[in-house]
Amino acid sequence: MKAFALLYEQHHEKVLNICWRFVNDRHIAEDLCQEIFIKVFRNLDQFRFQSSFTTWIHRISMNHTLNYCRKYKYQQQPIEKTFDPNLLDNLHADGSNSPDIMLEQEEQSKIIWQAVCTLPEAQKTVLILQKYEGYSIKEIADILNCTSASVESRLHRAKIKLSKKLSSFYKKNA
């Protein structure tokens, strides 16, 4: 039990963050996180050391969360307080901290997040894992049990779709 408590302590925050990114509801994310750790505990004997334990637990997290979203036809709502000005590769490079610029960056981040939420599941998943959670292409491939080329292709298609979706917004506001 002490070893499992240590595993929980090491992985809880990242698992919760993965859940939250896909459901945007703290209570649902916490419930999913608890279910995931119960699943991990019950299936520890099935871990085959073919990947890292971190990859294994994050794969379980992704599968469980996406299954929840599919089962309940969960429609992700935009995150109200998302601030990530680097989402699309340095949205603003000037580093200014003025309230107007920060407000503009926050608004742009919300618009980007709304566009991300409309992507097909496979594209949205790889984009969130890379841009929001900081995983490498290889790590994403391991988590999703696919090739690195597949991850790169999904990311490329996601970025093209986002560019198309966001281009109309930026044309209106130019």
Domain-wise residue ranges, the chain: 2-71, 99-172
Topology of domain 99-172, per CATH? Arc Repressor Mutant, subunit A (1.10.10)
Tell me the C-alpha distance between 9 and 162, whole Å: 35
> Quick one: pLDDT band at residue 97, thresholds 50, 70, 90?
low
Query: In terms of C-beta density within 10 A (0-12 exposed, 13-18 middle, 19 or more buried), how is residue 26 classed?
Result: exposed
Topology of domain 2-71, per CATH? Rna Polymerase Sigma Factor; Chain: A (1.10.1740)
Tell me the C-alpha distance between 116 and 76, whole Å: 10
Taking residues 12-17, what's their average pLDDT?
92
> Quick one: pLDDT band at residue 81, thresholds 50, 70, 90?
very low
Tens digit of each residue's pLDDT (9 = 90 or more) over 100-139: 776 777 777 788 888 888 899 899 999 999 988 889 999 9
Of residues 78, 54, 58, the one with CA closest to residue 129: 58
